[in-house]
Amino acid sequence: MPAFNAFYGQSGGVTSVINASAAGVIQTAKKYPDHIKNVYVGEDGIVGALTENLIDSSLESEADIEALKHTPAGAFGSCRYKLKSIDEHRVEYERLIEVFKAHDIRYFFYNGGGDSQDTAHKVSQLSATMGYPITCVGVPKTIDNDLPLTDCSPGFASVAKYVAVSILEASMDVASMSSTSTKVFVMEVMGRHAGWIAAAAALARDERDLGPDLILFPEVTFDKDAFLARVKDTVEKKGFCSVVVSEGVKNPDGRFLSESGITDAFGHAQLGGAAPEVVETIKQALDYKCHWAVSDYLQRAARHIASAPDVEHAYALGAAAVEFAVNGDNAVMPTIVRTGNHPYTWKIGKAPLAEVANVEQKMPADYISDDGFFITDKCREYLQPLIVGEAYPPYKNGLPDYVTLKKHKVEKLTGKDFKLKR
Amino acid sequence: MPAFNAFYGQSGGVTSVINASAAGVIQTAKKYPDHIKNVYVGEDGIVGALTENLIDSSLESEADIEALKHTPAGAFGSCRYKLKSIDEHRVEYERLIEVFKAHDIRYFFYNGGGDSQDTAHKVSQLSATMGYPITCVGVPKTIDNDLPLTDCSPGFASVAKYVAVSILEASMDVASMSSTSTKVFVMEVMGRHAGWIAAAAALARDERDLGPDLILFPEVTFDKDAFLARVKDTVEKKGFCSVVVSEGVKNPDGRFLSESGITDAFGHAQLGGAAPEVVETIKQALDYKCHWAVSDYLQRAARHIASAPDVEHAYALGAAAVEFAVNGDNAVMPTIVRTGNHPYTWKIGKAPLAEVANVEQKMPADYISDDGFFITDKCREYLQPLIVGEAYPPYKNGLPDYVTLKKHKVEKLTGKDFKLKR
């Protein structure tokens, strides 16, 4: 069987462990020289395939590829670019085939969340629909943890650990200050559609009851009166209150909290965060001194406090994707299958891309407590094992020694430019 | 010489290492039983002394006191409570003497920043002004790094490390996304009066030029046009721009950026952060997709990424305060004296409280680059050694194993309540 080149791309919002998946793909591909000649990586994901900006992974040192395991963000660049259907946008698919043919690419590995697995699924159909033989395997990744058919998705567990550690620390801070100063701390976390990340903050609360006290989930419509009553009650009982709010929380009118009509001096709508909005609500009703934080990219880039199982999952899924491909699987995605909680054990499974693409795994209703402000024991049982274990990067001069790749480009062969449709 | 009890209190905004100073005081006091019988800790600092809420540190286990070295926030509670002058508020001083007398307290250790050292200084005058014999030593602490006569103050170096690590990670994130998504990331950090913390972010920028690209200091009046020109230029050159803004940055009219006239739907002034304000300014002028973070308490509570020298300083200063006191020094504060940069070496010095109280150590003008948007090499030379070395806490179930003390109260002996004047 002749060997061909492989394409690998990073897609969607990056994570602190997506580069570990890249290392899994690249290092594992080297084990199968009879199948895979070289891994060409798209600069900025599928955009690099369309524009023929391919990075030759074989020209990176082995040490640098190994260092991807501890390097956050997208070392090759990522993109937010969704392929439309072949009917709608045939020219993009023709261009992909043109580039793949020119570079002898017959394997396609795409590393991303729901939208990206949709892209992978569409590419996997090129054989059937356009007669170009390609083996396509998705590699899961999303901090939102909303991919179906997998126990969890790489990126999420590290955000979960970051969020739990951060709210524990900040809750201890506000506890210290509350007698004469700040009474309420509000931390905003990501998760526009699902409350997985917000839920993870709950792991910080133990029998010492430091915090978080209240969690606002996107699954639960914001009930201002009930929330304020709980804040007041908590401050009166404990002296302080620690709150986690998901960016995706909505008002009864269906709008995000962060769009609550705040305007700037010029009357422009101010897209502030949910946290300052929650704080404003508390201040106006209860007049407590509040502090708030919005962790934004800090949470998903925080490789310095990554979860060890997350790093292991990410690498193993990249490696499994290559194994699947060389074994002839097409249009699939490796998954994490949990096999035990005490101790936490897992193995690699396999899901058809057709069943993954565009399906959102919501938080089960029984993961949120009846009052809507916390998680259930069942949710804790699910989340807890995912954050156990640290995977510290090496440090140099006081900072994590993250690698920056050389990114040598593969010579362009198609002789044509391609204009991205946006 | 008969032994007496000691009072120790935590004051002002807490840090990730103030408890290491507490451990230094408590463990060192045990070495001098001929001088110090027991350390009584004020619950919520001086408030605990005034209200006779004293915690018996001898009833904590040795392991728990040892664990203070890796536990953030104020384990005994802190306060924002400044004593007025004796002339203005004699009743507070009389109450302190009443409580100290009742509990045989003749040593006073106060752990805090500028305002707290002023409190310490006032207490140190009790001997002279009110005839009560007390030995008073301050223990420096402030993330703002604005105490004079010391090379740095415990708490600052860990925030510096957190901020530098966080902006490095987030800059790598935005770099990954910039081709099709976010172009600008803005991170807000603390420091209302001095730019030390903002300056520390600059440590993340090396020859790879990942970020931060621009820093907005409270020392430099916000020049909107110059800033926007730099943002535009950076995005055009690099594809993205990473910005750090201090909460203390002011507009030419003297108001904080965060008070720039944003009003909510009801016309209430919205006290948002400086970061969303900077982002709004960029969006309106340049229409770039932006993300922003406000780290707030997360930065000063982040014991998980504390600086090793910071932890060492904090402990050593607590220990030195006790050594000074038992050697008869009064009205002084131990300091950090830098003795070398390559490698970083330091020793303990001594400063009179009279020269510390209410004096702010500003950033020297030659620490900020001529264009006002970055630090100088001289500033980097000062900051760099402070973040080298990690001091990870132990972990349990995926979270730092921070200690919560038992805080057994000392029996009240004065038979009187005291109403705090606020």
Say which of B14, B169, B185 has its CB closest to residue A72.
B169
Residues of A recognised as catalytic? 144
Give the residue-averaged pLDDT of A248-257.
93
Interface confidence: ipTM more than 0.85: yes
Return the exposure string of B175-198: e unless at least 16 CB atoms fall within 10 Å of the residue's CB, then b. Answer: bbbbbbbbbbbbbbbbbeebbbbb
Under the banding of pLDDT at 50, 70 and 90, the label for residue A266 is: very low
Q: Which residues of B touch A262 (CB under 8 A)?
A: 262-265, 270
Question: Do B264 and A263 make contact, defined as CB atoms within 8 angstroms?
Answer: yes
Under the banding of pLDDT at 50, 70 and 90, the label for residue B285 is: very high
B144 is catalytic: yes
Residue A265 has pLDDT above 80, yes or no: no
Question: What's the confidence (pLDDT) of residue A82?
Answer: 86
Q: pLDDT tens-digit profile of B158-185?
A: 999 999 999 999 999 999 999 999 999 9
Return the sign of the alpha-carbon dihedral for residues A206, A289, B163, B69.
negative
Residue A137 has pLDDT above 70, yes or no: yes
Question: Do A13 and B177 make contact, defined as CB atoms within 8 angstroms?
Answer: yes
Select the more confidently predicted residue: A227 or B88: A227
Q: Which one from B144, B146, B213, B329 is the annotated catalytic residue?
A: B144
Residue B300 has pLDDT above 70, yes or no: yes
CA distance B254 to chain A (A): 17
Question: Do A262 and B280 make contact, defined as CB atoms within 8 angstroms?
Answer: no
Q: Which residues of B touch A174 (CB under 8 A)?
A: 297
CA distance B75 to chain A (A): 7
Under the banding of pLDDT at 50, 70 and 90, the label for residue B2 is: confident
Question: What's the confidence (pLDDT) of residue B265?
Answer: 42
CA distance A298 to chain B (A): 6
Q: Which residues of B touch A13 (CB under 8 A)?
A: 177
Whether the pTM exceeds 0.80: the reply is yes
Give the residue-averaged pLDDT of B218-224.
96
Residue A19 has pLDDT above 50, yes or no: yes
Say which of A164, A174, A181 has its CB closest to residue B399.
A164
Under the banding of pLDDT at 50, 70 and 90, the label for residue A89 is: confident
Question: Do B280 and A270 make contact, defined as CB atoms within 8 angstroms?
Answer: yes
Q: pLDDT tens-digit profile of A113-134?
A: 998 999 999 999 888 888 999 9
Question: Do A72 and B181 make contact, defined as CB atoms within 8 angstroms?
Answer: no
Selected for mutation to probe chain A from B82, B165, B206 (highest A CB count within 10 Å) is B165
Question: What's the confidence (pLDDT) of residue B261?
Answer: 55
Stretch among A298-302, B258-262, B378-382 having the lowest mean pLDDT: B258-262
Q: What residue of B is the nearest CA neighbor of A387?
A: B398
Question: Do B177 and A262 make contact, defined as CB atoms within 8 angstroms?
Answer: no
Question: What's the confidence (pLDDT) of residue A49?
Answer: 97
Show the 3-state SS of chain B. Answer: CCCEEEEEEECCCCCCCHHHHHHHHHHHHCCCCCCEEEEEEECCCHHHHHCCCEEEHHHCCHHHHHHHHHCCCCCCCCCCCCCCCCCCCHHHHHHHHHHHHHCCEEEEEEEECHHHHHHHHHHHCHHHHHCCCCEEEEEECECCCCCCCCCCCCEHHHHHHHHHHHHHHHHHHHHHHCCCCCCEEEEEECCCCCCHHHHHHHHHCCCCCCCCCEEECCCCCCCHHHHHHHHHHHHHHHCCEEEEEECCCECCCCCEHHHCCCECCCCCECCCCHHHHHHHHHHHHHCCCEEEEECHHHHHHCHHHCEHHHHHHHHHHHHHHHHHHHCCCCCEEEEEEEEEECCEEEEEEEEEHHHHCCCCCCCCHHHECCCCCCECHHHHHHHHHHHCCECCCCEECCEECCCCCCCCECCCCCCCCCCCCC
Residue A355 has pLDDT above 70, yes or no: yes
Question: Do B169 and A16 make contact, defined as CB atoms within 8 angstroms?
Answer: yes
Question: What's the confidence (pLDDT) of residue B264?
Answer: 44
Question: Do B293 and A296 make contact, defined as CB atoms within 8 angstroms?
Answer: yes
Question: Do B173 and A297 make contact, defined as CB atoms within 8 angstroms?
Answer: yes
CA distance A293 to chain B (A): 5
Under the banding of pLDDT at 50, 70 and 90, the label for residue B82 is: confident
Q: pLDDT tens-digit profile of A151-173?
A: 999 999 999 999 999 999 999 99
Give the residue-averaged pLDDT of A78-107.
92
Question: What's the confidence (pLDDT) of residue A264?
Answer: 44
Question: What's the confidence (pLDDT) of residue B347?
Answer: 98
Stretch among B86-90, B99-103, B263-267 having the lowest mean pLDDT: B263-267
Complete domains list, chain A, with CATH: 4-141+306-358+390-400 (3.40.50.450), 156-301 (3.40.50.460)
Question: What's the confidence (pLDDT) of residue B85?
Answer: 86
Q: pLDDT tens-digit profile of A292-307?
A: 999 999 999 999 999 9
Question: Do A176 and B74 make contact, defined as CB atoms within 8 angstroms?
Answer: yes
Q: pLDDT tens-digit profile of B201-218?
A: 999 999 999 999 999 999
Question: What's the confidence (pLDDT) of residue B87?
Answer: 86
Residue B297 has pLDDT above 70, yes or no: yes
Q: pLDDT tens-digit profile of B119-151?
A: 999 999 888 888 999 999 999 999 999 999 999
Residue A110 has pLDDT above 60, yes or no: yes
Q: Which residues of B touch A270 (CB under 8 A)?
A: 262, 270, 272, 276, 280
Selected for mutation to probe chain B from A18, A43, A169, A287 (highest B CB count within 10 Å) is A169
Interface A-B, measured as beta-carbon pairs within 8 A, has a size of 243
CA distance A2 to chain B (A): 34
Q: Which residues of B touch A395 (CB under 8 A)?
A: 390
Stretch among A317-331, A346-360, B127-141, B266-280 having the lowest mean pLDDT: B266-280
Question: What's the confidence (pLDDT) of residue B192?
Answer: 85
A4-10 sheet: strands from edge to edge: A54-56, A36-42, A4-10, A105-112, A135-140, A332-341, A344-352
CA distance A321 to chain B (A): 23
As a whole number, the mean pLDDT across chain B is 94
